[in-house]
Amino acid sequence: MKKVAISACLLGGLCRYDGKTKIHNSVITAFEDWEIIPFCPEAPLFGTPRERISVFYVNGQNRIITDETDKDVTELLIDETKRFILAHPDLDMIVLKSKSPSCGRGTTPILNDKREVIALGDGVSAALFKENYSHLEIKDETGF
């Protein structure tokens, strides 16, 4: 059976920062005959609900920083995503939630220090997935 990793909030997981889901029935239906592996790097690290995080462009790099307490959580998210990649070397496809600071694929707002959107880019996990699963199709829910 083919394997697909899907952002857990698209599958109905109540794992968003606000404790809600982003369930997407067309995604779930499209993979009825696949083994679905839920992916969410944020909830295991920070709990749910949790403080919102955003991507900031700082000194030539994208950094993930908490909105209120100003804590840089980039390395935590990198480590969590790497753990997932090591545990799942044999995926056939990945479907991620758009616009998320972790999961967004080319759709995540990148902010400057005034919280102005200066570009749309990849979330930290999406960027690592593109590097480590370069042979795979990586989609987001907007294609379903």
The binder of ligand SF4 chosen from 102, 107, 138, 140 (CB under 6 A): 102
Residues binding ligand SF4: number (CB under 6 A)? 13
Binding of ligand SF4 at residue 74 (CB under 6 A)? Answer: no
Q: What crossing angle do the helices spanning 124-132 and 74-87 adopt, rounded to 10°?
A: 40
Is-contact 101 11, C-beta < 8 A?
A: no
Within 39-58, the residues that bind ligand SF4 by CB under 6 A are 40-43
79 sits in which H/E element: helix 74-87
- Is residue 47 within 8 Å of 38, Cβ to Cβ? no
Residue 9, interface with ligand SF4 (CB under 6 A)? yes
Where does this chain bind ligand SF4 (CB under 6 A)?
Answer: 7-9, 15-16, 40-43, 97, 100, 102-103
